Amino acid sequence: MPDRLLSPRGGRLLGVLGIVLIALNIRTAVAGLAPLAGLIDAEIPLDATAIGLLGVVPPVAFAVSGLLAPWVAHRIGLERALLFAVVTMIAGHLLRGAALDYPGLLASTLVVLMGAGFGNILLPPAVKRYAPGRIGAVTAAYATMMSISTALPPLIAVPIADAASWRLSLAVWGAVGVLALIPWVVLAARPPHPVVTEPVTVIEVDAPSTSADADVADPVDEPDTRQFGRLARSRVVWGITIPFAVSGVTAYSTFALMPLLLEDLAGVDAARAGALVGLFAIVGLPLSLATPVITARLRSPAPIMIVSVVAFSVGFLGLLLAPTLATPLWMIALGAGQVLFPMCLALIGLRSRTSHRAVTVSGFVQAIGYGVAAVAPLALGVLRSVTGSWMPAIVILLLAALSTLVAIPLLRSGEMIDDELERRRL
């Protein structure tokens, strides 16, 4: 194989294209199943428990991926790990469409979401590798594609099922995965070039890339098996992990519980409740586009976190004190609070000096964040059943949102994770 299959510029462009196309696939498996539950139930019985278990799979798969993806990437390379993620997503989509019973549906859902989880973990370091001088802009692009991949499946899943079948409606997303396959097949075939990535500062990170970024590959040293333990002692890492976990808890609790909450407290019917949750999701689209770019321009993300806390407080206090007064406004406010998610995705790259470091940071942050998010909806649902009221659950979500303030002093200095770890080692 020739030493250079692509020019440095061609490799960067192909890498960015691959990042964006993977992002378009990450949430289709999550968003494409729920609208089809009634149709699937005619062939594969789905009671409330079965649907609830399917709803727990995404954050659990993403949390497990946070532990496994860095290990895989360090051993087979970032590009091959992303290729594995795409192949796994495609296979999972096809297996879901062919599922004959509930265990098959559950297992295939786990497969596709493990692939999506690997993509979730490895996209921030891929941005660090292929766009080190454009972290804000490229993160904005892929976060926006993730928002689109959340909003699109519910719109077309039922029409496709009505025109053909629910099986085709589930399997068709595998075809979208094929688009993402092409760039990573090419990039995985390139031999690695051990050129150290130039350090990227937090301020003005969107400045044009230099020639030192040509291959933007990291050293191929064997990774330190104690890296997760070291990261757990980093205040900067916890400064990213805390808001990421808050975002995950809020998002998964909203999607799982908010329809029932709105029916009980706001007195709306199921269709109206679903539309209000959709409003929450739509707000994330412009935020995904703007937030990473803004984050890259700031020395400290404190202003973004303060905006998020204010928005969450307005939303949760509105639901707590006046749920029927301006329900759409409360949902818009909660959606605006989700500005934390694209901010954290950008910070993973901005506060890491190499994509090698960003892999482990992304794994740590997302394993913990999604682990907490997996438990939250179930715990809050049990709390509702025990107390007979949604008020305790809303108060807990409000307190969780306020905990974002703890992360502000952890990130205020603008320090890089690598520098902090090196300083602590001395």
Q: Are 170 and 72 in contact (CB under 8 A)?
A: no
* The pLDDT of residue 2: 47
Q: Is the dihedral of CA 155, 160, 165, 170 positive or negative?
A: negative
The span from the CA of 90 to the CA of 332, in Å, is 34
Q: What CATH class has 228-425?
A: mainly alpha
The yes-or-no verdict on residue 205 having pLDDT over 60 is: no
What would the pLDDT profile of 15-27 be if each residue is shown by its tens digit? 999 999 999 998 8
* CATH code at 8-200+215-223: 1.20.1250.20
Confidence of residue 208 (pLDDT cuts 50, 70, 90): very low
User: Residue 199 CA to chain centroid, in angstroms?
Assistant: 25
What would the pLDDT profile of 239-267 be if each residue is shown by its tens digit? 999 999 999 999 888 877 888 888 888 88
Local structure of 118: helix, strand or coil: helix
**Range in 205-219, 275-289, 313-327 with the lowest mean pLDDT:** 205-219
Residue type, 423: R
CA atoms within 13 A on the CB side of 197: 26
Confidence of residue 202 (pLDDT cuts 50, 70, 90): very low
Phi and psi for 69 in degrees, rounded to 5? -60, -45
* The pLDDT of residue 221: 41
**Range in 142-151, 161-170, 213-222 with the lowest mean pLDDT:** 213-222
DSSP letter at 5 equals: S
What would the pLDDT profile of 341-399 be if each residue is shown by its tens digit? 999 999 999 999 888 888 899 999 999 999 998 888 888 888 888 888 899 999 999 99
The yes-or-no verdict on residue 213 having pLDDT over 70 is: no
Confidence of residue 117 (pLDDT cuts 50, 70, 90): very high
The segment(s) of the chain belonging to CATH 1.20.1250.20 are: 8-200+215-223, 228-425
User: Residue 219 CA to chain centroid, in angstroms?
Assistant: 27
Confidence of residue 303 (pLDDT cuts 50, 70, 90): very high
Local structure of 209: helix, strand or coil: coil
Residue range 224-250: mean pLDDT, rounded: 87
Compare 293 and 206 and report the one with higher pLDDT: 293
Confidence of residue 207 (pLDDT cuts 50, 70, 90): very low
The yes-or-no verdict on residue 148 having pLDDT over 70 is: yes
Over its C-alpha atoms, the chain yields an Rg (Å, rounded) of 21
Give the helix/strand (H/E) hosting 312.
helix 302-321
* The pLDDT of residue 48: 64
The span from the CA of 117 to the CA of 241, in Å, is 17
Query: Residues near 229 by Cβ (< 8 Å), separated by ≥ 6?
Result: none
